[in-house]
Amino acid sequence: MKNKPYAVLTGDVVKSSGVPVKKWLTALKIALNTFGRNLDEWEIFRGDSFQLMLDQPQRSLFAALVIKASLKQIDENLDARIAIGFGKVNYLADQISQSNGPAFIRADMLYEKLGKKAFAVEYSENLSIMVDMAQLAINNWTSLEAETFLAKLKQPAISQVQLAAVLNTTQSRVSERLKRSGYEEIQQFAAYFESNFRDKNT
């Protein structure tokens, strides 16, 4: 743990007032549970705020995309403001809210500076620009586009024909939704992010 890098995602759900709490809260819990255990690796607090710690920091962008798509597939007006910080974790507690270290400090500081932005990564200026561009696409997702994006993101090797069967739609509609969601471009960015992070930390 001493020299191991971590990623911490600090965020909150936005524009949730028109959506039943149980719907978006269940979706958020399922998304967070994909990446860790409740309380010691993720926690929801103050109603709509959350924090997630990853011991594979290169997966942090993927995690953020899963969280955002999971919410927007319920209602296209939903989103999550997310700030991602990287660094060491000095103390791992039974509850993530009691853990501490540079990764937590950086994520929290970046979160406080988000303002009207919905996505920020503390890493490099180039990656920050790419994050802003990805968020522009995310802002325009419909619920069906978010659902299709999420399904493909979780199963990148699945064909469009197979995905259509899973989503009970046609291949042409899957293709159209993926194109409109910016899936290919965002997926390429996510792959670049993961590779770039791994190269700098090996």
Interval 73-110: pLDDT, tens: 999 999 999 999 999 999 999 999 999 999 999 999 99
Residue 110 is assigned to a structural domain of this protein: yes
Which amino acid does the sequence have at 137? A
What CATH number is given to the structural domain containing 152?
3.30.70.270
Residue 191 is assigned to a structural domain of this protein: yes
Number of domains in the chain: 1
Q: What are the pLDDT digits (tens) for 8-64?
A: 999 999 999 889 999 999 999 999 999 999 999 999 998 899 999 999 999 999 999
Find the domain containing 134 and state its range: 6-200
Q: What is the pLDDT of residue 189?
A: 92
Residues 51, 41: Cα–Cα separation, whole Å: 8
Mean pLDDT throughout 120-140?
A: 87
Which amino acid does the sequence have at 140? N
Residue 32 is assigned to a structural domain of this protein: yes
Residue 1 is assigned to a structural domain of this protein: no
